[in-house]
C-alpha cells in the first residue's frame, strides 16, 4: 500500500493563485498526508524528528512548490539541509529512506517549450531538477518523474481549476491500495500517468 | 587623648593621604608608596605632626590587614584554595624554612647567640602581606603566576606566625615566657586542651559562616536599612578577630578562613563592597604609620650598618625565592617578580620584635635597629616593584598572564552581569545559562536571592547602582551589563554609573514603556528592550493565525510591525528632543499614541514579499509574447 506525503512550501499562499487551488483540491484526499511547511515552521525551525518520522511512515514523498528561480522556496532548502541527516538518510548506516519514491510537484511560469535547449530558459526542467533527483539517489530513493504545471503566468482561474482537478486525480491513483509505484521513475512527467491505460498503472 | 587632638590627628592623616597619594600616583609610584611617603613626612623625624603614638596607630591599623585577608578569602573559593595547596605548603613552607635557616645561620656566624639567631631568622623570613598584596592588586598582577605564588607564600607565612609565637617563649627560656605571653584562653590549659580550643574556634567560624550568616543577612536585608549591612559586615570581621585573639591565633588568618567560608554565599559581593572602604582606609593608615615609625635618628647614627642589613637580608631572601621559583617552574620574568615582591620583611615582624625585646631574646637597641630595618625594607618594596615594572617587565617577552596558569586565577569573573533577576532578568539569565554563558547576578530581593541560591544559581544581594558593588561583581572585566530591574529610575542610575565608570561595558537595558525608552535614548543607550513589546506582538501573531491567516505571513507581519514601531519611536524621540519638553500629561500621551497608530496605517508590510508572486511579472507577460522568469 502506497502512502503519499506532500511536503508543501509556499511563503505567501494567501496571494497565490495556482497553489491555493491545488491545495484546496488535494489536501483532503484520503491516504494523503499534507504537510504545510511554512504553516508548520513560520520561523524556519524545522522539527527534524517529526519530519523524519513522517518520511518513515510514507512510501511516496513529494515536494510541492512554485519553481522559484529554477528551484524551490527557501524553506525547502532548509528542510533538505536539516532533515536528510547523515547516518539516517545517507551514508553507510543511513538506510531509513531506502526504496522510497521521491519527487517534485511544481508550477512554472513559463510554457513547456521555453524549458528547452533552444527555448527562453535554455534547459529542460529535468535538467534544472538535477539537485533533487541526485538527492533522492544519494538517499537510496527512486526519483519519480516530476509533476509540472507549465505556463501558469498566462493561466486564468478556470485553467488553474482544471490543473488542480488533474493533480487530485493523479494523487488519488497513487494513494490507491493496489497501486504499484515501480514504473513511476520511467515516465517523463508524472502528469502522463493519467494517459496510461488503467490496468498498467 | 582628648576629642580635639583626635580630630586633629584624623585631619593630619587624611590630609597627608589626600596630598601624597595622588602625587605618588601621578609620578607612577603607586598608592602604597604614597602612603609611606606621607607617613615619613608627617612623622616625628620630619614634620613631627605625629609622635610616638604612631606605633599604637600601627597596631590599630593592622586591622586593615585582617580585613584585607577577609576580602581575599571571600574572593577565593574553597575549591581554588584546595588547588593551590601544593604551592601554599610546598612553596610557602620551603620559603619560610630556607629563609629562616639562612638568616639564622649567618646571624649565628657573626656571633649572635643561638636562640637570638633563630628568632631573627624566623622574624625576617616573613614578608609583608599588606604591602605585597596591595601592590600586586594595584598593578593587576594578582592573577599572574608570580602573583599566585606570592599569595600562596604569604598565606603560609600567616599560618606560620602561630607556631612562631609558640616557639619564642621556648627560645627565651620558660621563666621569661610566663611573664610575657599574651593572655589567651589557652594559657592555663594542657597541650591537648589548647589544641581542642584552637580547633573549636576554627569550627565556630566555619559553622557560623555556613549556617548563621545567611539567616542573619536575610533578616538584615529585609529591614532595607543600608548601614545595617555595613555594620553586620564589620561585626563579622571584628568578631572573628576577637575570637582568634581569645584563643591566641592570628586574627588575619581567622578572617581569611571566615572569608573562604563565605566565598560561596550569595551575600559575597555585598560583604565585599561593605568592607572594602574600611580595608582601604585602615591599610592606608597602616602604611602611614609604617612610614612614620622609621626612626631616622637611629638610621643616621649607623647608616651603613642599617642599609647593609636591609640590602643583605633582602638579597638573601631574594636568592632563596629565585631558587624556589626555579624549582616550582616559574618563567624568568615571573620568578623575578615573585622574588622582588617577597624579598621584604613583613608587618608581623613588628609584632614579633616587640615580643622578642619583652622576652629578652634581643636587646632593646637591637630590636629598635631591626624595626628600622623592617620599615625600610617595607618602604623599599613598592620601589623595587616599580623597578620591575619599568625596567624588567618591558624586556620580558612573555606576557604576565601565562597561558598554562590562566585557569588558576583567583578572581572568577563572568563576562555578563545581570542586574535584576525578576521575571524579566531571570528569563534572560536562564537563556544564557542554557547556552553555557555564566552571568553574575545582582538582585535586591533577599527572599528571591535565597530561593535562587538554594537552586544552586549564583545570585548576589545588592544594589547594582552602587559603584563598589559593580566593581565587586567584576564590572571591570565583564563584557556586558544586562539591566533588567523593575524600576526605571534605578535602571537609569545603573546606566549612568556604568557609562561613567565602565564605558567598555555593553549595556542591554530593559525599558518599561515608551516614555522610559525615550529617557534611555537620551542617555545614549543603544540597546533598549521595551518589556512587553515581544509578548504583545506574539499575542497578535496568534490572533492573526486563529483568524485564519497564514503562520509565516503573521510572523513576518509582526516583525515588520516591530521594525516600523522602533523607527517611529526613534523619530518621535528626535522630535521630542527638538521641543526639549517632556510628555507629562495623559493628553500628550494619548496624542503620542495617536501618532503611533496613524503611522501604523501605512501597512508597508503588506507590500513586502513581492518577489514571491509578482503581479507585475504576470502583467508584463500578458502584454508580451515572450516568456520571462521561471
Q: State pLDDT tens for residues B43-97.
A: 877 777 776 666 677 777 778 778 877 887 887 767 777 777 888 888 889 999 9
Q: Round to whole Å and give the CA distance between B272 and B70.
A: 9
Taking Cα atoms as reference points, which of A149, A7, A23, A147 lies closest to residue A75?
A7
Contact A11 B630 (CB under 8 A): no
Quick check: A112 contacting B, CB < 8 Å?
A: no
Question: Cβ contacts (< 8 Å) between B553 and chain A: which residues?
Answer: 12, 14
Q: Tell me the chain A residues in contact with residue B554 when contact means C-beta distances shorter than 8 Å.
A: 42
Contacts with B343 (C-beta within 8 Å, 6 or more apart), sequence order? B127, B314, B315, B317, B318, B321, B377, B381, B384
Q: What number of helices (H) and strands (E) belong to chain B?
A: 30, 6
pLDDT, chain B, mean: 79
Three-class secondary structure of residue B1 per DSSP: coil
Report in angstroms the alpha-carbon separations of B355 from B119, B162, B165, B171, B176: 10, 13, 9, 12, 11
Chain A to chain B, count of Cβ pairs less than 8 Å apart?
68
Chain B closest-CA separation from residue A159 CA (Å): 15
Question: What is the mean predicted confidence (pLDDT) over B135-158?
Answer: 82
Indicate whether A131 pLDDT > 60. yes
The residue behind cell 635618628 is B297
Total Cβ atoms within 10 A of residue B174? 8
Q: Do A38 and B612 touch (CB under 8 A)?
A: no
Q: Return d(Cα B341, Cα B328) in angstroms, integer.
A: 16
With vertex at residue A170, the alpha carbon angle to CA A168 and CA A175, rounded to the nearest 5 degrees, is 90
CB contact under 8 A, B552 and A109: no
Please answer yes or no on whether B627 and A73 come within 8 Å at the CB atom: no
Extract the C-alpha cell encoding B27: 609620578
Q: B124 with B345: CB under 8 angstroms?
A: yes
How distant is the Cα of A18 from the closest Cα of chain B, in angstroms?
A: 10
Helices (H), B547-614: 551-579, 586-600
Chain B residues with CB within 8 Å of chain A CB: 549-556, 609, 612-613, 617-618, 621-622, 626-630
Cα–Cα distance measured from residue B82 to residue B67, given in angstroms and rounded to the nearest whole number? 22
pLDDT (mean) for B109-135:
86
Contact yes or no for B613 and A15 at CB 8 A: yes
Q: What is the mean pLDDT of residues B364-370?
A: 80
Overall average pLDDT of the B272-298 stretch: 82
Write the CA distances from A11 to A199, B558, B629, integer angstroms. Answer: 39, 15, 18
Determine which of A15, A16, A21, A121 to mutate to test the interface with B (most B C-beta atoms within 10 Å).
Answer: A15
Provide the strand spans (E) within B19-116: none
Mean pLDDT computed over A71-83: 96
Q: Is the pLDDT of residue B525 over 50?
A: yes
Grid coordinates in use for B410? 583567583
Residue A26 φ then ψ, to 5°: -110, -20
Between the alpha carbon of residue A185 and those of residues A70, A101, A189, the distances in Å are 21, 8, 9
pLDDT score of A38 more than 90: yes
**Contact between chains at B630 and A120 (C-beta distance less than 8 A):** no
- A68 to chain B: which residues are within 8 Å by CB? 612, 630
pLDDT of residue B402: 35
Q: Does A43 touch chain B (CB under 8 A)?
A: yes
Residues of A in contact with B560 (CB under 8 A): none
pLDDT tier, A196 (very low <50, low <70, confident <90, very high otherwise): confident
In whole angstroms, what is the distance from residue B154 CA to residue B88 CA? 8
| pLDDT score recorded for residue B191 | 66
How sure is the predictor about A84, in pLDDT bands with cuts at 50, 70 and 90? very high
pLDDT digits (tens, 9 = 90+) for A168-191: 999 999 998 888 888 888 899 999
Residue B487, SS3?
coil
Buried/exposed B442-457: b ≥16 CB within 10 Å, e otherwise: bbbbbeebbebbeeeb
Specify whether the CB–CB gap between B546 and B520 falls below 8 A: no
B483 half-sphere exposure, CB direction, 13 A CA radius: 33
Q: How far is A189 from chain B (nearest CA, A)?
A: 18
Binary contact (A43, B555; C-beta < 8 A)? yes
Q: Once rounded to an integer, what is the mean pLDDT over residues B554-579?
A: 78
Portion of chain A with pLDDT greater than 70, in percent: 97
B72 to chain A, closest Cα gap in Å: 48
Enumerate the residues of chain B whose CB falls inside 8 A of the CB of residue A154.
621-622
**With contacts defined as CB-CB under 8 Å, which chain A residues touch B626?**
120
User: Coil, strand or helix: which one is B528?
Assistant: strand
**Location of C-alpha cell 486564468:** A156
Are residues A115 and A124 in contact, defined by beta-carbon separation less than 8 angstroms?
A: yes
On whether the CB atoms of residues A154 and A111 are closer than 8 A, the answer is yes
Domain CATH number, residue A148: 3.40.50.360
DSSP B88: I
Contact B368/B302 with Cβ under 8 angstroms? Answer: no
Contact (CB<8Å) A114/B627: yes
* High-pLDDT (> 70) share of chain B, %: 82
Chain-chain contact of B627 with A17 (C-beta, under 8 angstroms):
no
* Contact residues on chain B for A14, CB-CB shorter than 8 A: 549-550, 553
CA distance B626 to chain A (A): 8
Q: Is B483 helix (H, G, I), strand (E, B) or coil?
A: strand
Residues B387 and B321 sit within 8 Å (Cβ to Cβ) = no
Check residue B583 and give its pLDDT: 52
The parent domain of residue A52 ranges over: 4-200
Mean pLDDT across B249-268: 80
Record: contact A120-B618, CB cut-off 8 A: no
Q: Which residue has the cell 503611533?
A: B596
Please give the Cα distance from B359 to B168 (Å, whole number): 8
- pLDDT for B470-524, tens place per residue? 888 888 889 999 999 988 888 998 999 899 889 899 999 999 888 888 889 988 8
For chain B, say whether A154 makes contact (Cβ under 8 Å): yes
Query: Taking a C-beta distance cutoff of 8 angstroms, is the pair B583, B576 a contact?
Result: yes
Confidence of residue B363 (pLDDT cuts 50, 70, 90): confident
Query: CA-CA distance, B286 to B61, in Å (whole number)?
Result: 5
Distance to chain B for A125, nearest Cα, Å: 10
Chain A residues 131-150 within an 8 A CB cutoff of chain B: none
DSSP string, chain A: ---EEEEE--TTGGG-SHHHHHHHHHTT-TTEEEEEHHHH-TT----HHHHHHHHHH-SEEEEEEE-GGGS--HHHHHHHHHHS-BTTTBSTT--TTTT-EEEEEEE-SS-GGGSSTTSTTSS-HHHHTHHHHHHHHHTT-EEPPPEEE--GGG--HHHHHHHHHHHHHHHHHHTSTT---TTGGGSS-GGGGGTS-GGG-
Please give the torsion angle defined by the CA atoms of residues B318, B320, B321 and B322, in that order, rounded to the nearest 10 degrees.
80
Whether A38 and chain B come into contact, CB under 8 Å, resolves to: yes
* Chain A contact set for B629 (CB, 8 A): 69, 109-110
Say if A74 is an interface residue toward chain B (CB within 8 Å). Answer: no
Residue of B nearest to A122 (CA): B630
Nearest residue of A to residue B552, measured between CA atoms = A42
Number of domains in chain A: 1
* Interchain CB distance below 8 Å, A68 and B553: no
**Closest CA in chain A for residue B557:** A42
Contact B549 A12 (CB under 8 A): no
Q: Are B168 and B119 in contact (CB under 8 A)?
A: yes
To which H or E segment does residue B443 belong?
strand B439-443
Q: Which residues, 6 or more positions from B366, have their beta carbon under 8 angstroms from its beta carbon?
A: none
Cβ–Cβ under 8 Å, residues B337 and B404: no
CB contact set of B596 (below 8 Å; sequence gap of 6+): B565, B568, B569, B572
Distance in angstroms (rounded) separating the CA atoms of residues B387 and B392? 7
Q: Residue B184 belongs to what H/E stretch?
A: none
B7-39 pLDDT, tens digit per residue, is: 888 888 888 888 888 888 777 667 777 888 888
> Residues 6 or more apart from A81 whose CB is under 8 A from it?
none
pLDDT in tens, B190-229: 667 777 887 888 888 888 888 888 888 888 888 878 788 8
The answer to whether the CB atoms of B551 and A73 lie below 8 A apart is no
Section B262-290 average pLDDT: 82
Helix locations, B62-92, DSSP H: 63-74, 78-83, 85-86
- Dihedral, CA of residue B199, residue B201, residue B206 and residue B211, to nearest 10: 130
Which residues on adjacent β-strands are paired with residue A143? Answer: A102
> How many other C-beta atoms lie within 10 A of the C-beta of residue B598?
10
Whether B330 has a pLDDT exceeding 60, the answer reads yes
In this predicted complex, what is the ipTM? 0.83
For B150-155, what is the mean pLDDT? 88
Amino acid at each position: 500500500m502506497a502512502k503519499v506525503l506532500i511536503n508543501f512550501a509556499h511563503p505567501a499562499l494567501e496571494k497565490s493563485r495556482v497553489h491555493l487551488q491545488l491545495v484546496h483540491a488535494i489536501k483532503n484526499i484520503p491516504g494523503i498526508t499534507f504537510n504545510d511547511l511554512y504553516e508548520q515552521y513560520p520561523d524556519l525551525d524545522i522539527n527534524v524528528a517529526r519530519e523524519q518520522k513522517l518520511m518513515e511512515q510514507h512510501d511516496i514523498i513529494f515536494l510541492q512548490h512554485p519553481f522559484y528561480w529554477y528551484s524551490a522556496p527557501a524553506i525547502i532548502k532548509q528542510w533538505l539541509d536539516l532533515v536528510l541527516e547523515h547516518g539516517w538518510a545517507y551514508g553507510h548506516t543511513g538506510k531509513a529512506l531506502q526504496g522510497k519514491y521521491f519527487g517534485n510537484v511544481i508550477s512554472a511560469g513559463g510554457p513547456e517549450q521555453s524549458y528547452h535547449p533552444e527555448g527562453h530558459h535554455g534547459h529542460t526542467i529535468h535538467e534544472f531538477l538535477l539537485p533533487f533527483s541526485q538527492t533522492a539517489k544519494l538517499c537510496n530513493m527512486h526519483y519519480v518523474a516530476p509533476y509540472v504545471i507549465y505556463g501558469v503566468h498566462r493561466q486564468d482561474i478556470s485553467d488553474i481549476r482544471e490543473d488542480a482537478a488533474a493533480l487530485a486525480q493523479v494523487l488519488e491513483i497513487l494513494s490507491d491500495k493496489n497501486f504499484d509505484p515501480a514504473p513511476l521513475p520511467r515516465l517523463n512527467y508524472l502528469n502522463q500517468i493519467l494517459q496510461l491505460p488503467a490496468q498498467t498503472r | 587623648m582628648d576629642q580635639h587632638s583626635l580630630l586633629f590627628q584624623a585631619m593630619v592623616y587624611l590630609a597627608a593621604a589626600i596630598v601624597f597619594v595622588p602625587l605618588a600616583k601621578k609620578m607612577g609610584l603607586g598608592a602604597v608608596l604614597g602612603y609611606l611617603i606621607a607617613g615619613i613626612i608627617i612623622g616625628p623625624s620630619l614634620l613631627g605632626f605625629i609622635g610616638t603614638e604612631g606605633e599604637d596607630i600601627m597596631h590599630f591599623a593592622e586591622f586593615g590587614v585582617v580585613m584585607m585577608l577577609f576580602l581575599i578569602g571571600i574572593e577565593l573559593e574553597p575549591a581554588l584554595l584546595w588547588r593551590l595547596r601544593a604551592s601554599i605548603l610546598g612553596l610557602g613552607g620551603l620559603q619560610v624554612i630556607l629563609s629562616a635557616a639562612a638568616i639564622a645561620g649567618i646571624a649565628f656566624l657573626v656571633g649572635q647567640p643561638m636562640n637570638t639567631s633563630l628568632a631573627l631568622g624566623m622574624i625576617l623570613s616573613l614578608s609583608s602581606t599588606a604591602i605585597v598584596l596591595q601592590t600586586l592588586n594595584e598593578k593587576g598582577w594578582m592573577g599572574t603566576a608570580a602573583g599566585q605564588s606570592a599569595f600562596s607564600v604569604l598565606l603560609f607565612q600567616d599560618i606560620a606566625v602561630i607556631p612562631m609565637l609558640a616557639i619564642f617563649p621556648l627560645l627565651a627560656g620558660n621563666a621569661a615566657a610566663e611573664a610575657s605571653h599574651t593572655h589567651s584562653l589557652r594559657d592555663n590549659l594542657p597541650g591537648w586542651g589548647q589544641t581542642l580550643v584552637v580547633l573549636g574556634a576554627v569550627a565556630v567560624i566555619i559553622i557560623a559562616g555556613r549556617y548563621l550568616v545567611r539567616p542573619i543577612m536575610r533578616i538584615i536585608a529585609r529591614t532595607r536599612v543600608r548601614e545595617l549591612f555595613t555594620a553586620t559586615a564589620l561585626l563579622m570581621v571584628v568578631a572573628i578577630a576577637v575570637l582568634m585573639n581569645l584563643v591566641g591565633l592570628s586574627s588575619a588568618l581567622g578572617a581569611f578562613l571566615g572569608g573562604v567560608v563565605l566565598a560561596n554565599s550569595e551575600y559575597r559581593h555585598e560583604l565585599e563592597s561593605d568592607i572594602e572602604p574600611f580595608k582601604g582606609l585602615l591599610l592606608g593608615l597602616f602604611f602611614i604609620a609604617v612610614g612614620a615609625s622609621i626612626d631616622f635618628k637611629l638610621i643616621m647614627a649607623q647608616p651603613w650598618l642599617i642599609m647593609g642589613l636591609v640590602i643583605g637580608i633582602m638579597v638573601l631572601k631574594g636568592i632563596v625565592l629565585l631558587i624556589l621559583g626555579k624549582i616550582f617552574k616559574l618563567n624568568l620574568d615571573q620568578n623575578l617578580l615573585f622574588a622582588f615582591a617577597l624579598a621584604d620583611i613583613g608587618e608581623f615582624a613588628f609584632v614579633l620584635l616587640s615580643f622578642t625585646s619583652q622576652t629578652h631574646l634581643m636587646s632593646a637597641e637591637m630590636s629598635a635597629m631591626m624595626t628600622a630595618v623592617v620599615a625600610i625594607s617595607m618602604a623599599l618594596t613598592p620601589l623595587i616593584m616599580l623597578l620591575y615594572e619599568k625596567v624588567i617587565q618591558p624586556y620580558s617577552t612573555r606576557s604576565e598572564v601565562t597561558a598554562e596558569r590562566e585557569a588558576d586565577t583567583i578572581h572568577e569573573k563572568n563576562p555578563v552581569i545581570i542586574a535584576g533577576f525578576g521575571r524579566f532578568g531571570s528569563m534572560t539569565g536562564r537563556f544564557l545559562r542554557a547556552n553555557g554563558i555564566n552571568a553574575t547576578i545582582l538582585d535586591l530581593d533577599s527572599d528571591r536571592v535565597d530561593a535562587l541560591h538554594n537552586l544552586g544559581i549564583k545570585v548576589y544581594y545588592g544594589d547594582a547602582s552602587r559603584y563598589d558593588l559593580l566593581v565587586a561583581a567584576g564590572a571591570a572585566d565583564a563584557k556586558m551589563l544586562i539591566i533588567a530591574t523593575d524600576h526605571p529610575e534605578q535602571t537609569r542610575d545603573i546606566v549612568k554609573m556604568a557609562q561613567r565608570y565602565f564605558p567598555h561595558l555593553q549595556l542591554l537595558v530593559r525599558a518599561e514603556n515608551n516614555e522610559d525608552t525615550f529617557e534611555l535614548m537620551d542617555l545614549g543607550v543603544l540597546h533598549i528592550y521595551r518589556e512587553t513589546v515581544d509578548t504583545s506582538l506574539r499575542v497578535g501573531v496568534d490572533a492573526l493565525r486563529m483568524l485564519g491567516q497564514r503562520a509565516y505571513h503573521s510572523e513576518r507581519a509582526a516583525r515588520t510591525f516591530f521594525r516600523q514601531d522602533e523607527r517611529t519611536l526613534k523619530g518621535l524621540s528626535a522630535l521630542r528632543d527638538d521641543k526639549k519638553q517632556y510628555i507629562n500629561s495623559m493628553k500628550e500621551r494619548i496624542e503620542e499614541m495617536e501618532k503611533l497608530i496613524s503611522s501604523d496605517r501605512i501597512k508597508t508590510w503588506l507590500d513586502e514579499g513581492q518577489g514571491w508572486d509578482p503581479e507585475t511579472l504576470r502583467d508584463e507577460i500578458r502584454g508580451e509574447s515572450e516568456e520571462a522568469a521561471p
